[in-house]
Amino acid sequence: MLKLGKELIFSLLVALLLLSNAVPCYAQVAPHAYGNLPAQTLSVCLPSDQAEGRPGVLLIHGGGWTGGDKSDLQGRCKAFAKNGIVSAAMNYRLADPSDPSTRWPAQLDDARAALQWMIGHSGELGLNSGHICVYGESAGGHIALWLGIVDKRVAGVIDAFGPTDLGRLDKRFERALNALAVDASYSHDLHAASPVWYVRSDMPPTLIIQGETDDLVLPDQSNALYDAIKSKGAPVTMIMYPGGHSWANLKPHLLDAITARTISFIKKAPDR
C-alpha cells in the first residue's frame, strides 16, 4: 500500500519519463457499436503510430450505475493513447427500475461484450489481444473488478474508488441499489453483487486507487478489497491519495503522477 504524498518525487520522475517517451499525438476513432442495444457503444482512442501488438485498456465510467457517460473518461482515453495504449471508453446499460433488462449483471455483461469487441478487432486496432486491462472509476470500478474476476482474458484491473462491498454502502446508494434490483433489505443479494467476496487466487494484477478523505465510497471499501486479494496470494497494489471521491481536492500534479503510474501498470501487466 502506497501513500502518494510520501512518494511524490519518485512518482513525478516516473511521470516525466513516461511523458518524454509518449507518442506525440493520437487518432480518435468514431464511436463503434459493440452490441445491438443503443447503450452498447464505445469510442476508441488510438496512438498515432502504426505499431502492432500494443497494450490496450477498456475504460468504464462511473455514475452510481444509473448515470454517467463514456465521454466522462475521454481525458483518460486520450492520455493513455498518447502513451501508446489502445484505449476504448464504453457506455453500458444504465440501471432503470422500470426496465428489467438493465438489472445487474447487465452492466457486467456489457463490459464482457465490449472486451470481446476489442479482442475481435485487435488486428485493425494494432492491439495485443492478450494484453487488455480494464479501468473503472466509482461504479465503473465495481464493474471493472467483476470483469477481472469472471473473465480470464483481462490482463490487469485498475479500480479507482469503486464500491466493493454493497452491503456497507450508506443510504445515499439506496436508489441506485434498487435500480440495480439489489434490494437493500436482503443481505444475500448485496453479498452476491459485491466483488470483495469473490476475488480469486488467479486474478490478474490489480491496482486500487483510493482517496483518503472519500466520504462517499469510504477507504474501508478499498482496504477490505486489498486485504481480500492479498489473502488469496494474487498481485495487488493500492495507492492512497490525499483527496476525496472522483479526485476531489486532488492537486493536478498529483493526478498526473497517478496517471503516470496507471500507464506504467497497464504496460507492465502480463499477457493473458
Tens of pLDDT, residue by residue over 187-206, are 778 899 999 999 999 999 99
What ranges make up the beta strands (E) of 118-178? 127-137, 154-160
Round to whole Å and give the CA distance between 32 and 15.
31
Element containing residue 195 per DSSP (H, E): none
Q: What proportion of the chain, given as a percentage, has pLDDT over 90?
A: 83
pLDDT value at residue 24: 45
Paired sense of beta strands 86-90 and 54-60, if any? parallel
pLDDT, tens only, 135-163: 999 999 999 999 999 999 999 999 999 99
pLDDT value at residue 49: 87
**CATH code for position 48:** 3.40.50.1820
Largest pairwise CA distance in the chain: 53
Round to whole Å and give the CA distance between 45 and 234.
30
Round to whole Å and give the CA distance between 261 and 239.
10
Given a cut of 50, whether residue 182 has pLDDT beyond it is yes
Is the pTM here over 0.75, yes or no?
yes
pLDDT, tens only, 88-141: 999 999 999 999 999 999 999 999 999 999 999 999 999 999 999 999 999 999
CA-based Rg of the chain, rounded to a whole angstrom? 17
Contact 73, 61 (CB under 8 A): yes
Range of the domain at 145: 2-268
Contact 234, 185 (CB under 8 A): no
Q: Which residue has the cell 453479498?
A: 191
Please state whether the peptide bond connecting residue 24 to the residue before it is cis, i.e. omega within 30 degrees of 0: no
Q: How many domains does the chain have?
A: 1
Round to whole Å and give the CA distance between 104 and 94.
10
249 burial level (CB within 10 Å; 0-12, 13-18, 19+) = exposed
Contact 206, 157 (CB under 8 A): yes
Contact 152, 272 (CB under 8 A): yes
Q: Is 41 left (phi over 0), alpha (psi -120 to 50) or beta?
A: beta
From residue 101, how far is each of 93, 173, 267 by CA, in Å?
A: 8, 20, 36
